[in-house]
Amino acid sequence: MNSFDQYRLEAKKEAKNKLKERINVVSKLRKKKGKELDFIFSDGHDQAFKKIDCLDCANCCKTVGPLFTSKDITRISKNFKLSPGDFTEKYLRIDEDNDYVLKTLPCPFLSSDNYCNIYSIRPKACKDYPLTDLRDQKKLLKLHLENTKHCPAVNEVFNHITNKFGVK
């Protein structure tokens, strides 16, 4: 096990151990105004990614996987010279929320060195992940709590927010 695998396991354990504290943090963050909350998360995002390189982890690609929009399916299938239907049949399934998701994990487009083989045309959900630098963070708070279990960067964002902004 390499050092980042160990870090990822520790981050997952930390996310579990701090869940109650983070639920409390989220309840306090809900009281912040939109732009202020966006700034808080953006700052946390910037600090987390000074420490973390996604290529060392790729846990999102290994354990969660993205949702695929119809635009994603059209763009990616065109690149593979497949019809959207054939691409969908080969790689995707419809989940319990009626969204298109990968049939299998880890992502079939993830290479062994954690690089994405379709990076330039990857799904929008992959481009946006882990969502901590987007606008309108208030809508994402519950999802961020879930993502602390999968993404060491989101875990770091919460640590930063809790420490810097005194949201305990």
99-131 pLDDT, tens digit each: 999 999 999 999 999 999 999 999 999 999 999
Mean pLDDT rounded to a whole number for the chain: 93
Average pLDDT of span 25-41:
94
How high is the pLDDT of residue 80? Answer: 98
- Residues 9 and 16: their CA atoms lie apart, in Å, by 11
Q: CA angle, corner 120, sides to 116 and 74, nearest 5?
A: 105
Answer whether 71's CB lies under 8 Å from 79's CB: no
How high is the pLDDT of residue 166? Answer: 67
- Write out the two tokens for 155: 């875990």
- Write out the two tokens for 18: 């701090």
pLDDT above 70 for 168:
no
Number of helices (H), then strands (E), belonging to the chain: the values are 9, 3
How high is the pLDDT of residue 7? Answer: 73
pTM of the full predicted structure?
0.88
Q: Which residues contact 87 (CB under 8 A, 6 or more apart)?
A: 73, 76, 77, 80
End-to-end CA, the chain: 33
